[in-house]
């Protein structure tokens, strides 16, 4: 093409009429329009596929400020499939986008923190679901009982989509989120890196050796209370198993043996049935009670909703306070029967290490 053709710009008719072959310009203009149209059509045809891929994959480069710099997946089903394949939990973020100043602050201060980003992407499969959009996002919100147009909520899921630890609101700082990340990894039987433990505000120390056993009783509200009072019991959780209300107990075997714990639970009428995590523990439990009342715990266990956890604290002066899991267990156990003793656990160094 002659170099003069480069001057064919809108509003340059006087120049155009002076160029060689000016009479053929209308025909060339038509061809140019056709070429632009075909090129645009090809782009539009390819764009949905590229957008869908970007949406599913998630990128941090152009992400809204509310979700920080994490490379989020945008599809929960894909996230759960990857979690199963990788052997990692899912870190599920429900967030308002575009969001309020608090949502943007969380994105900037927490989810854009380089150490937090690295910890999330190392230990979890991160999935983001907007809480203010229709369609599939709204269906996921309904599935997990999350309110729309809400502040950010982070939940931790096993590959089957069930919560690893009970849902909590107002986890809006790096240490608070990191502590829950550590707790969820412990629940999944996975180690937390030294960097993540430092974010949680604790030194990287070996995870305390605890044993787990589950007791069935008529009501897990009182189950958490009575079992939490036993010396050596460090954490309790209300849950369901085999159609029964149960209380999961984590205890320190150096301070409390399993047979002694079973005896205490029976004395408190909190052991209608006992479920252990190993055949060896099952034998130990059967040394105290008859075998028909003892079984093995499996993946059918699920935690009760947050509204059923630590029920004795609700409606008291302790409601709304921030506790470590150990503190919550003991305060819940004694707040109704011995408030002075309940308060003593707030200053006990064994119970004051957040996220321990």
CATH fold for the domain made of 65-199: Glutaredoxin (3.40.30)
| Cα 339 to Cα 73: distance, rounded to the nearest angstrom | 46
Please write the tens of the pLDDT for every residue from 277-310.
999 999 999 999 987 789 999 999 999 999 999 9
Minimal CA–CA distance to 186: which of 235, 225, 126?
235
Please write the tens of the pLDDT for every residue from 215-259.
999 999 999 999 999 999 999 999 999 999 999 999 999 999 999
Please write the tens of the pLDDT for every residue from 86-141.
999 999 999 999 988 889 999 999 999 999 999 999 999 999 999 999 999 999 99
Domain definitions of the chain by residue range: 65-199, 209-356
Please write the tens of the pLDDT for every residue from 26-78.
444 344 344 433 433 433 333 333 333 334 444 555 789 999 999 999 999 99
Residue with tokens 């909590």: 168
| Cα 52 to Cα 256: distance, rounded to the nearest angstrom | 55
In angstroms and rounded to an integer, the radius of gyration of the C-alpha atoms of the chain is: 29
Say which residues have a Cβ less than 8 Å from residue 179's Cβ, sequence separation at least 6.
Answer: 200, 201, 354, 355
Q: What is the pLDDT of residue 22?
A: 41
| Cα 113 to Cα 208: distance, rounded to the nearest angstrom | 28
| Cα 126 to Cα 318: distance, rounded to the nearest angstrom | 33
Record the tokens describing residue 331, joined without a space: 């305060």
CATH fold for the domain made of 209-356: 3.30.1060
Beta bridge partners of 276: 213, 296
Say which residues have a Cβ less than 8 Å from residue 200's Cβ, sequence separation at least 6.
Answer: 175, 178, 179, 181, 182, 192, 354, 355
Q: Judge whether 146 and 95 are in contact, CB under 8 Å.
A: no
Q: What pTM, to 2 d.p., does this model score?
A: 0.44
Helix (H, G, I), strand (E, B) or coil at 120: helix
**Omega before 269 cis (within 30°)?**
no
Query: What's phi and psi for 212, nearest 5 deg?
Result: -125, 140
């Amino acid at each position: 093409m002659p170099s003069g053709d480069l001057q064919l710009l809108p509003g340059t008719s006087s120049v155009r009429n002076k160029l060689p072959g000016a009479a053929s310009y209308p025909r060339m203009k038509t061809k140019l329009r056709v070429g632009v149209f075909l090129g645009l059509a090809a782009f539009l045809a390819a764009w949905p596929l590229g957008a869908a891929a970007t949406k599913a994959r998630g990128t941090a480069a152009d992400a809204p400020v509310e979700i920080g710099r994490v490379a989020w997946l945008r599809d929960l089903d894909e996230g759960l499939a990857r979690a199963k394949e990788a052997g990692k939990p899912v870190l599920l973020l429900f967030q308002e986008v575009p969001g309020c100043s608090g949502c943007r602050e969380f994105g900037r201060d927490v989810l854009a923190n380089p150490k937090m980003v690295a910890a999330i992407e190392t230990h979890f499969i991160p999935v983001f679901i907007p809480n203010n959009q229709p369609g599939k996002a709204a269906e996921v919100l309904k599935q997990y009982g999350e309110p729309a147009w809400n502040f950010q909520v982070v939940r931790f899921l096993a590959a089957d989509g069930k919560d690893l630890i009970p849902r909590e609101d107002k986890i809006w700082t790096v240490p608070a989120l990191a502590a829950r990340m550590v707790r969820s990894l412990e629940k999944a039987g996975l180690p937390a890196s030294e960097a993540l433990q430092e974010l949680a505000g604790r030194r990287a120390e070996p995870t305390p050796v605890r044993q787990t056993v589950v007791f069935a009783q008529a009501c897990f509200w009182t189950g958490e209370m009575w079992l939490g009072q036993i010396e050596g019991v460090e954490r309790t959780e209300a849950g369901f198993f085999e159609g029964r209300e149960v209380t999961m107990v984590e205890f320190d075997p150096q301070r409390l043996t399993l047979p002694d714990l079973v005896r205490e639970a029976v004395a408190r009428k909190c052991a209608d049935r006992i479920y252990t995590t190993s055949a060896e523990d099952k034998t130990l439990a059967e040394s105290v009670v008859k075998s028909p009342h003892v079984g093995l715990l499996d993946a059918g266990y699920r935690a009760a909703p947050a509204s059923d956890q630590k029920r004795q604290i609700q409606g008291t002066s302790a409601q709304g306070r921030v506790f470590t899991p150990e503190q919550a267990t003991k305060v819940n156990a004694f707040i109704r029967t011995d408030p002075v003793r309940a308060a003593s656990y707030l200053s006990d160094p064994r119970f004051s290490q957040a996220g321990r």
